[in-house]
Chains A and B, each alone.
Chain A
Amino acid sequence: MIIEALIGVTFLAALVVFVAPDEYAGKLAAALSALPVLGSLWMWAQYDASGNALLGGSIAFETDVVWLTLGGLDLHWFVGVDGISLPLVVLTTILTTLAIVSAWTPISNRESQFYGLMLFMEANLLGVFTALDFFAWFVFWEAVLVPMYFLIGVWGGPNRRYAAIKFFVYTNVASLVMFIGFIALVFGLGDSVSSMRLPEIAQALRAGALGGFAGLDAATLKTVAFVATFLGFAVKVPVAPLHTWLPDAHVEAPTPVSVMLAGVLLKMGTYALLRFNFTMMPDVATALVVPIAGIAVISVIYGAMLALAQQDLKRIVAYSSVSSMGYVILGLVAYTTYGVGGATFQMIAHGLISGLMFMAVGVIYNTTHTRMVGDMSGIADRMPLTAGIFVAGAFGYMGLPLMAGFAGEFFIFKGSFASTVHSAMPLFTAAAMFGIVIVAGYLLFAMQRTLFGPFSFDGEYEITNAPTHDVAPLAVLLLLVIVLGVAPDLFFGMIQDAVNPILSGGGL
């Protein structure tokens, strides 16, 4: 029942905040959002399941009841977590609270609606990461888009309408493609599944129960469905060349929304890829390893090159997300413990680090009202604490050892280099790894230009140390990044345990 409580409390909190007076909304939202944080940490402490939730492992905090019957299929309220989803639940709750606190400074109109939508989004995100029935999962999946759409469209920058529409239409079309692909699979399975529960579907698919559908034989159907779902999720990740909605959304979105977008929403894409494509159809994934690994490498290098060309700090961080998520795809397709486990770990690591970087850029923006590299210089002189955390976060992004990003990236590299799915995997790995040089290039360059050198700033604002409630979330995130970098096993153990069942059987 803890999962229902978690989601329910968050929904209720959203409602309460929505009707609260604007002046208290921020503090109230922060306080209420601490409840799911405590809940998720309790779940982490109590977690005792093992194996993969979709492949017959035990499921923690499970609820499975028939909800309604639609068209001959039972739709279940079926939620629970395993070692893959629990870390994402923890990430979601912590990041939401910190994002809410980081919104206190920049958000100054319609506060109650803003914070209400943030909490509403959190509730749906928790649903996405815990739902184990396709129907419930899809409802949450789609419902996440709604608050995000408003958060960008109402509180965003000058070009917010375009960015919000682009985000919504792009990701919704992607969802449609994915939906059609997946439903075709369910029909292909025919009578071998009696419900839309993901474990049932996954196990049936891996057992080879798929029949033909709509004139396609089983093998073709599976490939078509794989490609359709892959494309649908790839937009969310986003994978190059399906990424162009992301920089627009980030540039227009206010800082706390960017934090959620980069920190959690992108992980919906990689999480779904892992749950659906790579868990349910490993045979297709390994048959398509060259295009998938190729896309991963292109995302890493192309995303990093784009980041190198940017002058807006936020765009730099936005494009570098494309690069970092490319590593995740590479790890997933490797089909090794370290590859897939590292990809899952990297989702958490990148969630924390990109959140940290967006917040750091936000704190600078709150003070200077500009994010352009050329508009300021030497601001470390006036904002030493923020600059110090910025530097630490940037090195985290560059994959400095003993910070979470290195753990995720190294696990992926180690796993994908040793992967046996294709003889070219070492070459793909070595090519993707060059991203660690480019990321150092653009972040060091940006820091040299903005933080260091003689102080100069053209704007009319006085530049001083940021208020404590702006810096505190940064410090918390930095601490988490270091803790996870020093002790990745806090999550990596349960992740591996949930990942290993994926790696054998199912046509592999």
Chain B
Amino acid sequence: MVGIFDFAPAIVLLPFVSFLVALAVGDRLPKGGALAGIAATAGSLLLAAATFLTVAGGRTYDATIYTWAEGIEAVDLTFGILIDPLSAMMLLIVTLIAFLVHVFSLGYMNDEGEVGLPRYYAGLGLFTASMLGFVVADNLLMAFMFFELVGLCSYLLIGFWFREPGPPSAAKKAFLVTRFGDYFFLVGVVAVFATFGTAAFSGSESFPVLAEAALHGEATVNTFGFAPQTWFTIVGLLVLGGVVGKSAQFPLHTWLPDAMEGPTPVSALIHAATMVAAGVYLVARMYGFYALSPDALAIIALIGGFTALFAATMGVVKREIKQVLAYSTISQYGYMMLALGGGGYVAATFHLMTHAFFKALLFLGAGSVIIAMHHNEDMWDMGGLKEKMPVTYYAFLSGSLALAGIFPFSGFWSKDEVLYETLIHGLGGSPVLLAAYAMGLLAVFFTGFYTFRMVFLTFHGEPRTQTASDPHSVRWNVKGPLAVLGVLAATTGLVNMVPVEKLLGIGGIDFLHQWLDMSTESLNAHHYGELIPYSSAYIGGEATTVAIGAGVSLGLALAGAGLAHLLYNVPEPVEHTDRLGGIKTLLYNNYYQDEYQVWLANGVTRPVARVANKFDQGVVDGVVNGVSSVSLFSGSRVRRIQTGVVSNYAVLLTLGLTALLLAFGLLGGWFV
């Protein structure tokens, strides 16, 4: 019987076809290939929705569909499709946002008269296909391969405006920094193969299951002389290198703000909602492996908590709307890492979903503003746009309330659960988690502040420039996606109202928990809950802890938003952050993180390369030339040979060859 899962490869292949179409004949199609992309992503969306419903019926799917390299007396390297509640949900998110971004691009790219549209839509198609391939990957190698391909698409799309100096430089940086992370990831992949002989995510022979068995002494794997626990931590941290790069976590976050050089719909799709999520998704996908290593989890939690706070502080002082959103993205992925490290698998997945919607919304909203502002992104040139573009305003406001974590918008629920899970596991005897929690909590305040500073500067007060008082209008293709995402950002929190359940005792409204529990034995949330090396403790009772946690984080968010209201929701705002003095300079320059990385590349690596080159030319090649001039031919002879005519060389060569053959024959005759 043909089931919906047989169409799973088509979810990936449809956008790939749109890539080929846009690349081959995009310049002869109306809209530069946009329609092919819209049709393909719409098709993928429908298939993903059908798949989602099937999974909701309790079915999962894992099948090898292609043997990439068939090992002879060695393991096969395969591509397979794994569809379970986690990947089905992610498929739905990615296809939905890809579809909306394609539609939005009609307004942002086509209506603005950009050239090179086939290249743009080809890039979007290839990206969507690669991202979906990554999501359904059933083993770590396939995941790595598509992980790299999304990196290529990111490079191509960041550098879309290649005739300007900025975008190619940003594209290079994005690929290089993430490649640095991917190096560790790739070492991790080969280590997983060498350790377990498989890289499958799912099933009784998958590497997380084998690792668990090895820890219990029920299976033997090659741990290269280390204790299994230690070796699994090492492998986990190696793979984490790729995660830190792709999900823009400290210290490899520096590429993401630069990536804002790309077109804004690309920022929404790739650098907010989906590709950056790939790292977090990967940790969730192999959570059964990470949950075995307390040290790896602690490091993930610390990186996450620190990144959340660190990036949020930088978001406070930025002038450009997309820069605020970029640092906000880094910060929000920090929360997801915090949740994963803190044992909150469902919380992380939940925040991944809500963030995908509200951050895509905010970027598209910013895109709408940028169209209106004739591609000026400086918030200090805006102001008063609320009346001129109400649809954008209310959608953006919905996203902002979600980002700041204000009840009852989606971000409130997911961020609250992230912090709550970390808190109870920290209270259960993990001071590291408590420290990470504290950073995450403090970041809530900064988030509230920078979010509403952005809202007030952009939409409230009086227009501060001529452009802002007479903005360019936007069409349905911009407003439509904003409206859809605006509703989602407001409401998706309702799928997982854990605090309400706990406080009011209404059972069964933690739908996401139930959803992620439906996966197979080794991949469900319940199993992960048993694996994590944490115990829970509460302040007072469970309900009290829920109330305190939610109250504190909501209070901090409101305090941040309120401070922004006091300072910036005035007719003629001034830059209050100037009062921070030297701290502002430090924040504005991103703690000089870019400087030291550029210094590592240009100040250290390049000089070393130049020294190596001098050494090579002077010493290594010098010896070669020296030896040849003293021994084989004298210098003068070489010169004489060099000045000879071509036929002389032929004679020389023939003589040499003959001499060798003669020697060979004579020696042969002599000795045998």
Residue positions of A touching B, CB distance < 8 A: 70-73, 135, 139, 142-143, 145-146, 149-150, 153-154, 161-162, 165-166, 168-170, 172-173, 176, 179, 183, 187, 190, 240-241, 243-245, 302, 305-306, 308-310, 336-338, 341, 378, 380-381, 391, 395, 398, 400-402, 406-407, 410-411, 413-414, 417-418, 423, 426, 429-430, 433-434, 436-437, 440-441, 444-445, 447-448, 451-455, 486-489, 492-493, 496-497, 500
B residues 588-630 in Cβ contact with A at 8 Å = 601, 605-606, 608-610, 612-613, 616, 620-621, 624, 628
Q: Which residues of A contact B616 (CB under 8 A)?
A: 244, 302, 306
User: Looking at the complex, which one of A145, A176, A308, A338 makes contact with B74 (CB distance below 8 Å)?
Assistant: A338
Show 30 residue pairs from A and B whose CB-CB distance is below 8 angstroms, ordered by the A residue: A70-B664, A71-B667, A73-B668, A150-B646, A162-B642, A166-B624, A169-B632, A169-B633, A173-B632, A176-B660, A179-B664, A183-B664, A244-B621, A306-B616, A336-B74, A337-B71, A395-B152, A400-B149, A401-B146, A402-B149, A418-B190, A433-B183, A433-B187, A436-B179, A436-B182, A436-B183, A437-B180, A452-B159, A453-B162, A500-B72
User: Is the pair B641, A402 in contact by a Cβ cutoff of 8 Å?
Assistant: no
Judged by a CB distance under 8 angstroms, whether B113 is at the interface is: no
Among residues 552 to 576 in chain B, which have CB atoms less than 8 Å away from a CB atom of chain A? none
Interface window among B101-109, B164-172, B334-342, B536-544:
B164-172
Please give, as numbers and ranges, the residues of chain B lying within 8 Å of A161 by CB-CB distance: 642
Q: How far is the CA of A103 from the CA of B464 in the complex (A)?
A: 62
A72 contact from B67, B608, B672, Cβ within 8 A: B672
Known: A172-B656, A244-B621. A70 touches B669 (CB 8 A): yes
Main secondary structure of the interface of B (DSSP, over half): helix
State the CA gap A440–B672 with chains docked (Å). Answer: 54
A437-B176, A493-B72, A496-B73 known, 4 other contacts, Cβ within 8 Å: A162-B642, A183-B664, A309-B612, A400-B152
> Is the pair B69, A488 in contact by a Cβ cutoff of 8 Å?
yes
Cα A401 to Cα B656 with chains together (Å): 46
Whether A489 contacts B176 in the complex (CB less than 8 A), given A153-B646, A154-B646, A451-B162, comes out as no
* The 10 A-B residue pairs with the shortest CB-CB distance in the complex, in nearest-first order: A71-B668, A71-B669, A401-B145, A452-B168, A309-B613, A418-B194, A244-B621, A309-B609, A308-B609, A337-B74
Interface string of B405-436 (1 = CB under 8 A from A): 00000000000000000000000000000000
- Taking a contact as CB atoms under 8 Å apart, the answer to whether A488 and B68 are in contact is yes
Q: Judging by beta carbons under 8 Å apart, are A453 and B186 in contact?
A: no
A173 to B72, CA, bound (A): 39
A71 to B225, CA, bound (A): 54
Contacts of A338 in B (CB 8 A): 71, 74
> B residues within 8 A CB of A418?
190, 193-194, 222
Q: Is B138 an interface residue (CB 8 A)?
A: no
From A168, A173, A448, A489, B70 is in contact (CB under 8 Å) with A489
In angstroms, Cα B612 to Cα A497, docked, is 40
Are A496 and B187 touching (Cβ within 8 A)?
no
Q: Which residues of B contact A410 (CB under 8 A)?
A: 141, 186, 190
Q: How far is the CB of A316 from chain B (nearest CB, A)?
A: 11
Interface residues of B in 622-672 (CB under 8 A from A): 624, 628, 632-633, 638, 641-642, 646, 649-650, 653, 656-657, 660-661, 664-672
Return chain A residues, CB-CB under 8 Å to B180: 437
B624: chain A residues at CB < 8 Å are 166, 170, 244-245
Determine which of A70, A166, A305 lies in contact with B668 in the assembled complex, contact meaning CB atoms within 8 Å: A70
Chain B min CB distance to A269 (Å): 17
Residues of B within 8 A of A243 (CB): 620
**Chain A residue with minimal CB distance to B670?**
A71
Q: In angstroms, how far is the closest chain B Cβ from the Cβ of A500?
A: 5
A153 to B652 Cα, complex, angstroms = 14
A136 to B544, CA, bound (A): 87
List residues of chain B with CB within 8 A of the CB of A429.
187, 190
Instruction: Check if A70 sits within 8 Å of B665, measured CB to CB.
Output: yes
A305, B159: Cα distance in complex, Å: 26
Q: How far is the CB of B350 from chain A (nearest CB, A)?
A: 31
With A169-B632, A437-B179, A496-B72 known as contacts, the answer to whether A414 contacts B190 (CB < 8 A) is yes
Measured between C-beta atoms, what is the minimum distance from A417 to chain B in Å? Answer: 4
**CA of A378 to CA of B156, assembled, Å:** 15
Q: Is the CB of B609 within 8 A of A306?
A: yes
State in angstroms the CA–CA spacing of A417 and B193 once bound together: 9
Among the listed B69, B162, B176, B608, which residue makes an inter-chain contact with A452, where contact means beta carbons less than 8 Å apart? B162
Q: Which of A162, A187, A410, A429 has the most CB of B within 10 A?
A: A410
Say yes or no: is B163 at the interface (Cβ < 8 Å to chain A): yes
A391 to chain B minimum Cβ distance, whole angstroms, is 8
Q: Does B175 contact A (CB under 8 A)?
A: yes
B71 — which chain A residues lie within 8 A by C-beta?
Answer: 337-338, 496
Taking CB atoms, residues of chain A closer than 8 Å to B612 are 302, 305-306, 309
In the assembled complex, the Cα of A161 lies from the Cα of B641 at a distance in Å of 9
Q: A244 contacts B620, CB within 8 Å?
A: yes
Given A245-B624, A337-B72, residue A153 in contact with residue B649 (CB < 8 A): yes
In the complex, what residue of chain B is closest to A398 when comparing beta carbons?
Answer: B179
In the bound complex, CA of A441 to CA of B178 (Å): 12
Is B641 a contact of A165 with CB atoms below 8 Å? Answer: yes
A426 touching B668, Cβ below 8 Å? no
CB contacts (< 8 Å) of B610 on chain A: these are 309
Pick the residue among B162, B165, B605 that contacts A441 (CB under 8 A): B605
Q: In the assembled complex, how far is the CB of residue A294 from the closest CB belonging to chain B, in whole angstroms?
A: 16
Chain B, Cβ-Cβ closest to A338: B74
Minimal Cβ-Cβ distance residue in A for B165: A453
Q: Which residues of B contact A492 (CB under 8 A)?
A: 69-70
By beta carbon, the residue of chain B nearest A435 is B183
Cβ distance A249 to chain B, nearest Cβ, rounded Å: 12
In the assembled complex, the CB of B254 is this many whole angstroms from the nearest CB of chain A, namely 15
Contacts of B179 in A (CB 8 A): 398, 436-437, 440
Question: Which of B163, B665, B671 meets A381, CB within 8 Å?
Answer: B163
Q: Which residues of A contact B628 (CB under 8 A)?
A: 166, 169-170
Tell me the complex Cα distance, A407–B70, Å: 12
**Residue B144 is within 8 A (CB to CB) of chain A in the complex:** yes
Contact indicator B149/A241 (Cβ below 8 Å): no
Task: Say yes or no: A308 contacts B190, CB within 8 Å.
Answer: no
Question: Please, which residue of chain A has its CB at the minimum distance from the CB of B68?
Answer: A488
Shortest Cβ distance from residue A491 to the other chain B in the assembled complex, whole angstroms: 10
Minimal beta-carbon separation of A505 from chain B (angstroms) = 14
What distance in Å separates the Cβ of B120 from its nearest Cβ neighbour in chain A? 14
Residues of B within 8 A of A309 (CB): 606, 609-610, 612-613
Q: Which residue of B lies closest to A345 (CB)?
A: B69
Min distance, Cβ B127 to any Cβ of chain A, angstroms:
14
Contact B163 A165 (CB under 8 A): no
Q: Does B148 contact A (CB under 8 A)?
A: yes
- Please give me the residue from chain B that is nearest to A213 by CB atom: B671
In angstroms, how far is the closest chain A Cβ from the Cβ of B175? 6
Given A169-B628, A176-B660, do A444 and B172 touch, yes or no (CB 8 Å)?
Answer: yes
Shortest Cβ distance from B610 into chain A, in angstroms?
Answer: 5
Structural contact, A149 and B73, CB atoms closer than 8 A: no
List the A side residues contacting B144 at CB < 8 Å: 401
Do residues A441 and B601 form an inter-chain contact, with CB atoms below 8 A? yes
CA distance A306 to B186 in the complex (A): 24
B163 contacts A378, C-beta separation under 8 Å: yes
* Alpha-carbon gap, A9 to B646, bound state (A): 26
- Residues of chain A contacted by B670 (CB below 8 angstroms): 71
The yes or no answer to B191 lying at the interface (CB within 8 A) is yes
**In the bound complex, CA of A14 to CA of B650 (Å):** 17
Query: A143 vs B666: C-alpha distance in the bound complex, in angstroms?
Result: 21
Q: How far is the CB of B617 from chain A (nearest CB, A)?
A: 8
Residue ID in chain A nearest B116 by CB atoms:
A384
Question: In the docked arrangement, what's the CA distance between A173 and B71, Å?
Answer: 40
Q: Which residues of chain B have C-beta atoms less than 8 A from A73's C-beta? A: 668, 672
**A398 vs B151: C-alpha distance in the bound complex, in angstroms?**
12
Shortest Cβ gap from B122 to chain A (Å): 10
Q: Are A448 and B646 in contact (CB under 8 A)?
A: no
Is B194 in contact with A417, judged by CB distance below 8 angstroms? yes
Q: Give the residues in chain B near A493, CB-CB below 8 Å.
A: 70, 72
* Chain A residue at smallest Cβ distance from B151: A400
Write out the residue numbers on chain B whose beta carbons fall within 8 Å of the beta carbon of A407: 69
